[in-house]
């Protein structure tokens, strides 16, 4: 539950943080009007078999904390029981499940062998219509073979292996092979350019690389290996590299020195017995980089026991995964969402994972619905950006498929506007499936704020209450708790098992970035700052306003991008919007970028309607100075609107960071459109 407790913050620290200084601002309460104005809805027709384990019966009162996390940890198999749930000695660098030992791959695979060795663990659909299925036993065999192969090429416990693969079965298999031998994986999104790969390898001192020969993009071939080789050439040491053959025998695979064919290794090591290496619960499981939407991409680290506990528990409580449930999460394993809810969460739960390589629009716009139909997908998890794309394409696509297998829908990564929520609920979930709008971060490891399906009411546009055991506070710039209805900074008051566990060398910046603003180190009182702004209602439901850096100040008022965009997308014909501020001396003006449904001609009328909608829902003071139409918004590979870049464009600064963009080609186009308007 959202708790009313003020623990005080360190004012001195606050002074050091420029972002938090200005107290004179007033704020409007977010509007978030759904076009149908339906505020609360009870999940209907959502069967729950009653097997879900809560860390407690709903709430976790102070006296039961942290003991309430025992139940979540008991979802895992421990080779050595832990002695302490949480060690606060070095707060805020908490250590969870101290003394315990376990292995992630054993928990994802071996423990299922007795009961479900022949159950499907992974269904893969390739870009060219190929299909492959792996049972838990198949995974066991291939993961063991790859684990033996990694050892053969010199990987030892605690070494880091970088994985640079598109959505192929070999990606989760290699992650689990690393985990089996106690090596850390460092997955780098396969679309990144060579220099981004090299940087991410060097930052973690990567001892090996796993990549592939290439991949297909619609009709062309992407030479993945050449990108990898370019990156490797810029690294001083020779890094042993395993290459997966994706292109097939029609393409020659040229292996250089210290490079190995994945298939040859698997063949050589099939049948190898590689016992899982028990790891300390506090030992790192992997590195991952943040997506770089706001700042520079940073190295994050998660620890074995705490991370797996959070993920196993939310897989069950939020996604209702039980053995045999089929889940399709569209995220790439290069992001935390892919780690937690494509790989670890589902496999820990004994579920069946669907992995679909390639774009959702290839070979045509029926693909997403065909994947659901063919595989009997029960849980579908994606981003608001993807849902907006589906909206743009129109209802005829989902309507022409049998989606009756779906039971639960999820959204993550950005605020979802009530209109988008309604569309998802009606046309994908057919008013039958609850939607879990899950708030979390790379840093938090697992979902922390979300409704629990079958337990909590749904409210379009709100992510819901914090999960049991999680305590959040909305605070002002002085760290004082704000009452319901007052927007402020979203903070987390108590540690949680799957929290970031920075390496020694990262502690300094992690402290400054996440803990300094609202903690009081002298009183040993620590509060995590998420970087987001949010508001809670009287029932403790949280609405995310947006990243603090993206909040717009107009005429001394701070308005969240989510609120503006929710107002703008109520206009028929507008599918997506992004609002940023153009600063001129002494004041700033609101600029809106919007994309239109296909066939929308009357731009002047829409432009006026957009301006009126902002004035009506948010206030006359916020009426946009310009509304610019664009074919696409700039987006990161993980599906977030790149506000940072739009801000540069409207303020006539040269665009940067194009290597974190999914659609870098829009940058030139946007700059041209902006300058013309
Ligand atoms: C945003 C993704 C609104 C938020 C798992 C957060 C959301 C950042 C939601 C983390 C949501 C995530 N509603 N905003 N349901 N989920 N965010 O690290 O700003 O890629 O801080 O992790 O995404 O992004 P990250």
Q: Does any ligand 1 atom lie closer than 6 A to the CB of residue 241?
A: no
List, for residues 320-367, the tens digit of each pLDDT value: 999 999 999 999 998 999 999 999 999 999 999 999 999 899 999 999
Question: How far is ligand 1, taken at its centre, from the CA of residue 339, in Å?
Answer: 15
Ligand 1 pocket: which of 435, 440, 662 to mutate (most atoms <8 Å of CB)? Answer: 440
* Residue-averaged pLDDT of the chain: 89
CB 521 within 8 A of CB 10: yes
Question: How far is ligand 1, taken at its centre, from the CA of residue 137, in Å?
Answer: 35
Percent of the chain with pLDDT over 90: 68
Question: How far is ligand 1, taken at its centre, from the CA of residue 625, in Å?
Answer: 28
- Give the pLDDT of residue 194: 92
- Give the pLDDT of residue 49: 53
Using alpha carbons only, what angle is made at residue 306 by residues 302 and 310, rounded to the nearest 5 degrees?
A: 100
Least trusted range by pLDDT, from 27-31, 120-124, 438-442, 461-465? 27-31
Assess whether pLDDT exceeds 70 at residue 29.
no
Q: Does any ligand 1 atom lie closer than 6 A to the CB of residue 642?
A: no
Q: Does any ligand 1 atom lie closer than 6 A to the CB of residue 412?
A: yes
Question: How far is ligand 1, taken at its centre, from the CA of residue 439, in Å?
Answer: 6
What Rg, from alpha-carbon coordinates, does the chain have? Answer: 24
Q: Does any ligand 1 atom lie closer than 6 A to the CB of residue 531?
A: yes
- Give the pLDDT of residue 16: 34
Strand partners, 221: 216
List, for residues 443-478, the tens digit of each pLDDT value: 999 999 999 998 888 999 999 999 999 999 999 999
List, for residues 241-281, the tens digit of each pLDDT value: 999 999 988 788 899 999 999 999 999 999 999 999 999 99
How does residue 44 score in pLDDT terms, banded at 50, 70 and 90? low
How does residue 8 score in pLDDT terms, banded at 50, 70 and 90? very low
DSSP per-residue letters across 631-670: S---BBTTS-B-HHHHHHHHTT-----GGGBS-THHHHHH
Q: Does any ligand 1 atom lie closer than 6 A to the CB of residue 337?
A: yes
Closest ligand 1 atom to residue 562 Cα is 3
Closest ligand 1 atom to residue 411 Cα is 15
Q: Whose CA is nearest to atom 19 of ligand 1?
A: 547
- Give the pLDDT of residue 570: 87
How does residue 294 score in pLDDT terms, banded at 50, 70 and 90? low
List, for residues 543-586, the tens digit of each pLDDT value: 999 888 888 888 778 888 888 888 898 888 888 899 998 887 77
Report the relative pairing of strands 84-87 and 95-98 from DSSP bridges.
antiparallel
Q: Compute the distance between CA of residue 623 and CA of residue 21 in angstroms, rounded to an integer.
A: 26
Q: Does any ligand 1 atom lie closer than 6 A to the CB of residue 437?
A: yes
Q: Which one, of 347, 349, 335, lies nearest residue 382 by Cα? A: 335
Percent of the chain with pLDDT over 70: 90
Q: Whose CA is nearest to atom 5 of ligand 1?
A: 441
Higher per-residue pLDDT: 390 or 31: 390
What's the rounded mean pLDDT across residues 521-542? 94
Q: Compute the distance between CA of residue 290 and CA of residue 531 in angstroms, rounded to an integer.
A: 13
Three-class HEC string of 127-175: CCCCEEEEEHHHHHHHHHHHHHHHHHCCCCCCCEEEECCCCCCHHHHHH
Question: How far is ligand 1, taken at its centre, from the CA of residue 610, in Å?
Answer: 26
Task: Give the list of residues 6+ apart from residue 228 with CB closer than 8 angstroms, or none.
Answer: 164, 194, 197, 209, 211, 241
- Give the pLDDT of residue 2: 42
Q: Does any ligand 1 atom lie closer than 6 A to the CB of residue 314?
A: no
Using alpha carbons only, what angle is made at residue 326 by residues 636 and 437, rounded to the nearest 5 degrees?
A: 45
Question: How far is ligand 1, taken at its centre, from the CA of residue 640, in Å?
Answer: 9
Closest ligand 1 atom to residue 531 Cα is 21
Q: Compute the distance between CA of residue 658 and CA of residue 636 in angstroms, rounded to an integer.
A: 9
- Give the pLDDT of residue 3: 36
Question: How far is ligand 1, taken at its centre, from the CA of residue 258, in Å?
Answer: 39
List, for residues 415-445, the tens digit of each pLDDT value: 999 989 999 999 999 999 999 999 999 999 9
How does residue 38 score in pLDDT terms, banded at 50, 70 and 90? low
């Amino acid at each position: 539950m959202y708790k009313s407790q003020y623990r005080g913050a360190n004012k001195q620290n606050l002074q050091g943080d420029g972002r938090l200084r200005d107290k004179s601002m007033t704020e409007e309460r977010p509007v978030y009007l759904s076009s149908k104005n339906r505020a609360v809805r009870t999940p209907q027709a959502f069967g729950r078999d009653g097997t879900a384990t809560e860390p407690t019966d709903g709430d976790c009162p102070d006296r039961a904390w942290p003991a309430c996390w025992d139940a979540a940890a008991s979802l895992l198999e421990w080779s050595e029981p832990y002695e302490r749930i949480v060690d606060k000695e070095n707060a805020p660098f908490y250590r969870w499940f101290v003394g315990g030992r376990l292995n992630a791959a054993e928990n994802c695979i071996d423990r299922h062998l007795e009961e479900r060795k022949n159950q499907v663990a992974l269904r893969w659909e390739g870009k060219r219509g190929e299909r492959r299925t792996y049972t838990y036993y198949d995974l066991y065999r291939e993961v063991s073979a790859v684990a033996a192969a990694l050892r053969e090429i010199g990987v030892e416990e605690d070494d880091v292996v970088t994985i640079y693969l598109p959505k192929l079965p070999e990606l989760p298999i290699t992650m689990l092979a690393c985990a089996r031998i106690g090596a850390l994986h460092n997955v780098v999104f396969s679309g990144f350019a060579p220099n981004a790969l090299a940087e991410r390898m060097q930052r973690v001192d990567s001892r090996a690389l796993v990549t592939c020969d290439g991949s297909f993009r619609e009709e062309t071939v992407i030479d993945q290996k050449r990108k990898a080789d370019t990156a490797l050439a810029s690294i001083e040491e020779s890094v042993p590299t395993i290459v997966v053959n994706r292109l097939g025998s029609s393409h020659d695979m040229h292996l250089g020195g210290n490079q190995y064919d994945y298939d040859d290794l698997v063949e050589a090591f099939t049948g190898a017995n590689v016992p899982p290496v028990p790891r300390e619960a506090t030992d790192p499981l992997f590195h991952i980089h943040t997506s770089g939407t706001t700042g520079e991409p940073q190295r994050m680290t998660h620890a074995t026991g705490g991370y797996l506990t959070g993920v196993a528990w939310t897989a069950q409580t939020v996604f209702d995964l039980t053995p045999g449930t089929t889940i399709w999460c569209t995220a790439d394993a290069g992001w935390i969402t892919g780690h937690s809810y494509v790989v670890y969460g589902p496999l820990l739960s004994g579920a069946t994972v669907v992995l679909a390589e390639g774009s959702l629009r290839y070979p045509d716009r029926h693909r997403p619905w065909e994947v659901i139909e063919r595989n009997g997908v029960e849980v579908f998890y994606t981003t608001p950006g993807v849902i907006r794309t589906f909206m743009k394409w129109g209802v005829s696509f989902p309507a022409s498929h049998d989606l009756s297998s779906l039971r639960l829908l999820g959204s993550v990564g950005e605020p979802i506007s009530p209109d988008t929520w309604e569309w998802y609920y009606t046309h994908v979930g057919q008013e039958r499936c609850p939607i879990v709008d899950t708030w979390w971060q790379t840093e938090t490891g697992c979902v922390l704020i979300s409704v629990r399906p079958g337990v909590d009411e749904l409210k379009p546009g709100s992510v819901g209450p914090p999960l049991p055991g999680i305590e959040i506070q909305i605070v002002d710039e002085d760290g004082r708790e704000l009452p319901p209805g007052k927007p402020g900074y979203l903070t987390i008051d108590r540690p949680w098992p799957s929290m970031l566990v920075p390496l020694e060398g990262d502690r300094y910046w992690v402290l400054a970035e996440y803990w300094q603003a609202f903690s009081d180190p002298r009183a040993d009182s620590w509060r995590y700052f998420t970087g987001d702004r949010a508001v809670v209602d009287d029932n403790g439901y949280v609405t995310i306003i947006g990243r603090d850096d993206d909040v717009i100040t107009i005429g001394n008022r701070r308005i969240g991008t989510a609120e503006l965009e929710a107002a703008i997308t109520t206009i028929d014909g507008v599918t997506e919007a992004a609002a940023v501020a153009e600063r001129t001396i002494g004041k700033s003006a609101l600029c809106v970028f919007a994309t239109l449904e296909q066939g929308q001609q009357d731009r002047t009328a829409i432009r006026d309607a957009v301006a009126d909608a902002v004035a009506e829902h948010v206030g006359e003071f916020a009426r946009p100075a310009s509304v610019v139409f664009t074919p696409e918004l700039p987006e990161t590979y993980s599906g977030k609107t790149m506000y940072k870049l739009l801000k540069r464009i409207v303020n006539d600064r040269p665009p940067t960071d194009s290597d974190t963009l999914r659609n870098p080609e829009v940058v030139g186009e946007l700059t041209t459109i902006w300058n013309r308007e």
